[in-house]
Amino acid sequence: MAMYATRSHTTLPARRSFDLPGGTMAAWHWPNPGAPRLVFVHANGFCASAYRRVLEPLADTYDILAPDLRGHGRTALPADPATHRSWDVYARDLLALIERLGRRPDVMAGHSMGAVGALIAASRLPDVPRLALIEPVVLPRSVYAVSRSPLGFLMRNRLAIARQARRRRNSWPDRAAALARYAGHPTFRRWAAGTLEDYLEDGLRETEAGTVVLACNPAWEAANYEAQGHDLGRAARRAAPQARVLKAEHGSTVVRAPALAGRGARLTDMDGVGHLAPMEAPERVAAWLKQAAAPG
C-alpha cells in the first residue's frame, strides 16, 4: 500500500470479500459513503487491481466497487475451462454480488469482457443502471450463433488469441522475475508507468512450492475467448439505451458497433489508443469514464 503515499487522492481502497454461491468473490472498494455506487468489471485475464489509475480519480464522486471475476485475481469460485460456454456466468456472479450488497449500483462499468458482463447483468435488473463500457467485445452474429449451436465445440483452438493464451508462460521463481519478464514485452512497454505493477499485485499468486503463477490460469483465459454462447443482442435491446461506449482507434473489439449504437448506445472514438486503453492512457480513460458515468 506504500505506493499510494505520493498520490493526491486521500481515500485508499480496501480489500473486501463476499460470500457467493460456490465460493467467495474478492473486490477492491473505494468507500465514499452516501455517494452514487459504481461497479467496475475488469477484462479477461486481468483483475481489479490493474485499473487503480483509472478508478482512483473517480473516488471523490463515486463509491466504487471493483470485483475480481470468477477465475481471476483473488476470487475463489469454480472455473473449469472444460464446461465454460458463455459469459453469462459473469453476469450471474455480478447479479449475486449486487443482491449480496442489497443495493442496485447507480453505474455499471467495465472493460472488454467485463463490459459485456456488466451489460448482460444490467439488462437483467428491474431498472437498468447507467452503463459506461470500455471496448466491449461485440463480435459478428455468426460467432454467437455457432457458439450456441451443437457445433460450438468447433470454437476450441480455432482462435489465434486462445491458442496464444494456452501457450502463455505460467511459472516464475518470484514476483521480481515475473515483473522483469513482463516489463520487457512490447505490449507492456506501452502501458502507463506503474500500471503493470498494479496488475501483477493481484494478477499473480504464490504457490505452496514458493513460486508464483498467474491468478488467471491461461487455460481459463483461453476458454473465455472461445465461450461466446451469451446472447449479446438480447442484452443490448434492453440495456443499450443506458450505455455509453468507448471505442479504441487501434485493434478495437467493438467489431459490430451497430449492435449497440443501433439500439441507442452512444459511442465515443478515442484516438491514439488500442484495446488496452485503460492501461495505456489511464488518465484519458478516467476522464471519459467520469463523464460517461454522470447522469444525463
Q: Where does residue 214 rank: exposed (0-12), middle (13-18), buried (19+ CB within 10 A)?
A: buried
pLDDT-derived band of residue 8, with 50, 70 and 90 as boundaries? very low
pLDDT above 60 for 9: no
Domains defined for the chain, CATH in brackets: 2-167+218-293 (3.40.50.1820)
Pick from 47, 90, 94: which is nearest to 217 by CA?
A: 47
pLDDT above 90 for 3: no
Q: Could you read off the pLDDT of 162-221 as tens digits, one per residue?
A: 999 999 999 999 999 999 999 999 989 999 999 999 999 999 999 999 999 999 999 999
DSSP code string of 158-200: TSHHHHHHHT----BSSHHHHHHHHHTSHHHHTSPTTHHHHHH
Q: Could you read off the pLDDT of 90-120 as tens digits, one per residue?
A: 999 999 999 999 999 999 999 999 999 999 9
Answer whether 75's CB lies under 8 Å from 24's CB: yes
Q: Where does residue 254 rank: exposed (0-12), middle (13-18), buried (19+ CB within 10 A)?
A: buried
pLDDT-derived band of residue 152, with 50, 70 and 90 as boundaries? confident
What gap in Å lies between CA 256 and CA 244, rounded to an integer? 15
pLDDT-derived band of residue 125, with 50, 70 and 90 as boundaries? very high
pLDDT-derived band of residue 12, with 50, 70 and 90 as boundaries? confident
* CB contact burial 43-73 (16+ within 10 A = b; e otherwise): bbbbbbbbbbbbbbbbbeebbbbbbbbbbbb
83 phi, psi to nearest 5 deg = -110, 5
pLDDT above 90 for 6: no
What gap in Å lies between CA 244 and CA 109, rounded to an integer? 9
Answer whether 16's CB lies under 8 Å from 27's CB: yes
DSSP code string of 11-76: PPPEEEEEEETTEEEEEEEE--TTSPEEEEEPPTT--GGGGHHHHGGGTTT-EEEEEPPTTSTT-B
Using DSSP, state whether 89 is helix, strand or coil. Answer: helix
What gap in Å lies between CA 162 and CA 93, rounded to an integer? 23
Using DSSP, state whether 277 is helix, strand or coil. Answer: helix
pLDDT above 50 for 256: yes
- pLDDT of amino acid 11: 62
pLDDT above 70 for 276: yes
